[in-house]
Amino acid sequence: MRSLYTKIVGLVCVVLLVSALLALLISNIAYYSFWQDSYSQKVEEAVETAIDYYETHGDGKTESFYQMLQATGFQLYVRTDDGIERYGNTFRDEALSNQVVKQVKEGQPYYGMREYPFHLFLLGLFDNEVINTYGTSVKTAQGTDAIFVRPDLSRQIRELHLFVGLFLALLVVISFLLLVFSIRYLVRPIRRLTKATEQMADGDYGIRVGTKARDEIGELSRRFDEMATAVDASDTERRRFVANVSHEFQSPLTTISGYAGQLHVTGEDVTKRTIIQQEAERMSELTRQLLILAKLDEGRRFKRQALHLRTSLETTLTTLAFQLDEQGIAVALDVPATLQIQADAGALEHIFQNVIRNAISVSVEGATIHIQAREQANQVIVRIQDEGPGMTEQQIAHAFERFYQGDAARSSRGTGLGLAIVKETMCQLGGDASLSTDTSGLTVTLTFLRA
């Protein structure tokens, strides 16, 4: 995707190029319309005056006369009875019909400069061809020469060419550099606003652009800050509400679950009591996870310390031993005993419990959960793989969103908050969490800072 900066620079370059072409075209039209005839007439008069002087006062030596014309700033193409002679710079193209040469020798002037055809982007003044000359005849002792003359512009204005060329080159280079830096300055507020919107989309509602500009971009930035403030206030109220509601629900749900377990019922009422207990426990787990997320949202600072990774995993597996044995699931633990990470003990317990519980929920009897850890530079990579049905790419893209439950196999008893808690906790510990899937199951990759 091309950035706005690239588009503006490209647009300016295109505008400069088109402007230059249009300027050249208009100048060309102006030359052919207003100046071609007068300029050609001046050249013709100068040549005829020189020839008249030569024929009246000259010594009859045409070569000296032609060299004099060359010295005064003309280039000549001479057709004598014996061949061709050239004086001054060589013509780029010497194509000329014999009919034209014959007419000139017979005394009919050739008005090539005056009648030179129009070209879109080629100025006839600088086209160095024999057909773009003034042709006339000169009487000599041997007969009649046909001479074709035009100003030798390369000699007359060579220094001017160099100056103008250097000036235009510097003008283009300096203009381009100034445009590049000035446009970079112009798009800087847009880049800052773009970065702020990206941070806001990632959940950072405290971001502000803070511009003092009085233009349209400045007004847009101020509107963005106002919107961000409103969204931040609304999000704060939402989090406070969720935390309060979760806290208020926790005690009644515990009471309901406790009393339901003490009810003495028979028959179908036993099933109903079990359902009451299960739903109360599920709601209690939901509110517990909501409270954890509320604390994470408040920016709770974890106490990082060096922890033995294998010891922490074994503690979690001991807690979940009953569920693992009940479902006949094995755990293959491939973690060096000396490997240490930087983490908070309580946060680490939440992370491993959520990930391993998810793996248990999708595993069938006799399956194995593989846990592997390896050092990589200043990080420790932990991979927890189950043998369940895995996830689709679409499900993986949304898996860390709150309350997302895209897989019936994984969400039958879940809250949709476990992976969101894992992701948020890992980020606050300075690490990251990601998912990958293949035919053998889902792999959760946890990246910790190495102690």
- Pick the more confident residue, 193 or 272: 193
Structure tokens that stand for 122 in this block? 């080629």
Same domain, 115 and 245: no
Residue 206 within a domain: no
- pLDDT tens per residue, range 126-159: 778 999 999 999 988 788 999 999 988 766 565 5
Most confident of 173-187, 258-272, 289-303, 323-337: 323-337
- If asked whether residues 288 and 395 sit together in one domain, one would say no
Distance CA(140)–CA(430), nearest Å, equals: 99
Note whether 374 and 442 are same-domain residues: yes
Query: 112 and 55 share a domain?
Result: yes
Residues 166 and 174 sit within 8 Å (Cβ to Cβ): no
Task: Give the containing element (helix H, strand E) for 286.
Answer: helix 268-297
Please say which residue of 275, 297, 319 terminates a domain.
297
Same domain, 292 and 332: no
Domain of 248: which CATH number? Answer: 1.10.287.130
Looking at the structure, do residues 410 and 277 belong to the same domain, yes or no? no
Number of helices (H), then strands (E), in the chain: 14, 12
Q: Catalogue the E-assigned strands of 156-315.
A: 305-308
Q: What is the CATH number of the domain that holds 309?
A: 3.30.565.10
Mean pLDDT of 239-250: 65
- Kindly state whether residue 211 falls inside one of the protein's structural domains: no
Q: Is residue 401 part of a domain?
A: yes
Please report whether residue 192 resides in a domain.
no
Please state, as a whole number, how many other Cβ atoms lie within 10 Å of the Cβ of residue 346.
12
231 & 116 share domain: no
Of 243, 268, 297, the position where a domain reaches its end is: 297
Q: Helix, strand, or coil here: 134?
A: strand
Please state which of the ranges 72-81, 273-282, 317-326 shows the lowest mean pLDDT. 273-282
Query: pLDDT digits over 18-58, tens only?
Result: 777 777 777 777 777 777 788 888 888 989 998 888 888 77
- Note whether residue 17 is domain-resident: yes
Same domain, residue pair 310 and 276: no
Least confident of 162-171, 197-206, 403-412: 403-412
Buried b (16+ CB within 10 A) or exposed e, 43-78: bbebbeebbeebeeebeeebeebbeebbeeebbbbb
Nearest Cα to Cα of residue 232 among 191, 196, 262, 260: 196
**How many domains are contained in the chain?**
3
Domain boundary among 266, 297, 328: 297
Q: Are residues 127 and 70 in the same domain?
A: yes
Q: Are residues 257 and 138 in the same domain?
A: no
Parent domain of 77: 4-156
Q: What is the pLDDT of residue 243?
A: 64
Q: Are residues 23 and 144 in the same domain?
A: yes
Please indicate, yes or no, if residue 325 is contained in any of the structural domains.
yes
Indicate whether 114 belongs to any domain: yes
Kindly state whether residue 112 falls inside one of the protein's structural domains.
yes
Residues 391, 271 within the same domain: no
| Rounded Cα distance, 418 and 346, in Å | 15
Please check the confidence at residue 254 and state whether its pLDDT lies above 50.
Answer: yes
381-440 pLDDT per residue, tens: 999 999 888 888 888 888 888 777 765 444 445 667 778 888 888 888 889 999 998 888
